[in-house]
Amino acid sequence: MEFRLIDRIRERTAQGREDVKLGIGDDAALVAPPAGQEIAIAIDTMVEGVHFPRGTAPADLGWKSLAVNLSDLAAMGASPAWALLALTLPSASSEGIEQFIDGFAEGFAQLAQPHRLALIGGDTTRGTLTVSVAVHGFVPPGQALARGGARSGDVVLVTGTLGDAAAGLQLLQRGARVDEGDGRAAFLIERLHRPTPRLAAGLALRGRATACIDISDGLVADLGHVCAASGLGAEIDAPLLPRSSMLLGAFDEAAARDFALSGGDDYELCFTVPAARVADVQTDLARLGCGATRIGRMVDTPGVRVRDEHGRWLEITRHGWDHFAP
């Protein structure tokens, strides 16, 4: 059974790359990194009921399990190459497991193939539905983006829009369906299930951004990591936060702001750029289709503070996702 599942995954995710010398089907994969490149490696684990709602469509889960890892490569300014996949599957009929695998592999492949990412190995086992993906990418020496390079006075920017995924999750928890209403629920839930890793933006930020991180746990939490690594703080202007018309149409201003600040799961990039480079960076990322919105600046005072439309500092009661919070 296990080897039949592996064959089904291999058939649906096949991607030829000259640097893969031996892929799925042996005790280990053999790869040949290109000369003059450093390898960026990231891994994420997703557990049903913790990182994705029970009942998530297998194809959506396949897409998202890869997307969250590609987003990490994007935040490093790396281009993707290879992936490893470990699947823990609950007990079910052979037919049920095979249907799940087919859907999962289809969603995974839909995102992997445009980026020429090859699945080169992994593992399957039985237990609570859990997906672990490790990705490997390339970046020229000295050009990787990191969290610790921001400087006081740098401008803080984000790609895309914030808060959509968290709003989609809340709608699901309320029992919303993607086929009801005026399309707002469908849009927000789609943003939750199928985030877009900003790989092209990450490449464009090489040599320009002083620090970068992807927004997985929430803007305040993740920008806080940049602040800690850089030994600085940040001041954010809440009215500047980019939010979609679908989010603003489905929720009031206060809720939309909270989603954008603390919701997480959007997998947009948050990065810092010297003020003199902001206009050029915004122009280039606009050409890529994701845009970049200026939301604040880096300062010497530690911590992340958020200012409202009246210039008053907001009390942030929820900073973002914490895996080990009670």
Cβ atoms 126, 60 nearer than 8 A: no
DSSP helix/strand/coil, 298:
strand
The response to whether 322 counts as a known ligand-binding position is no
26 is in an annotated binding site: no
Distance CA 286, CA 248 (A): 22
Residue 147 marked ligand-binding: yes
Whether residue 122 is annotated as binding a ligand: the answer is yes
- Any known ligand binding at 258? no
3-state secondary structure of 154: coil
252 burial (CB, 10 Å; 0-12 / 13-18 / 19+) is: exposed
Structure tokens belonging to residue 126: 């039985």
Does 321 count as an annotated binding residue? yes
Report the C-alpha gap between 235 and 151 in whole angstroms.
13
**Interatomic CA distance for residues 123 and 18, integer angstroms:** 23
AA identity, residue 259: F
Closest CA to 235 of 166, 316, 167, 176: 316
d(CA 132, CA 44): 6
Annotated ligand binding at 214? The verdict is yes
Phi, psi for 297 (deg, rounded to 5): -150, 160
Q: Is 27 annotated as a binding residue?
A: yes
Closest CA to 136 of 27, 20, 222, 3: 20
User: Which residues, in sequence order, are bridge partners of residue 212?
Assistant: 271
Q: Report CA 261 to chain centroid distance, whole Å.
A: 16
Residue type, 151: R
User: Which spans in 77-137 are helix H?
Assistant: 94-112
The DSSP string of 165-203 is: HHHHHHHHHTT--TTSTTSHHHHHHHHHHS----HHHHH
123 carries a ligand binding annotation: yes
Q: Is 217 annotated as a binding residue?
A: yes
Helix pair angle (58-76, 184-193), 10° resolution? 60
- The annotated binding site for Mg(2+) is made up of 27, 44, 72, 123, 214, 217
- The annotated binding site for ATP is made up of 122-123, 147, 216
- The annotated binding site is made up of 27, 44, 51, 72, 122-123, 147, 214, 216-217, 265, 321
- The annotated binding site for substrate is made up of 51, 265, 321
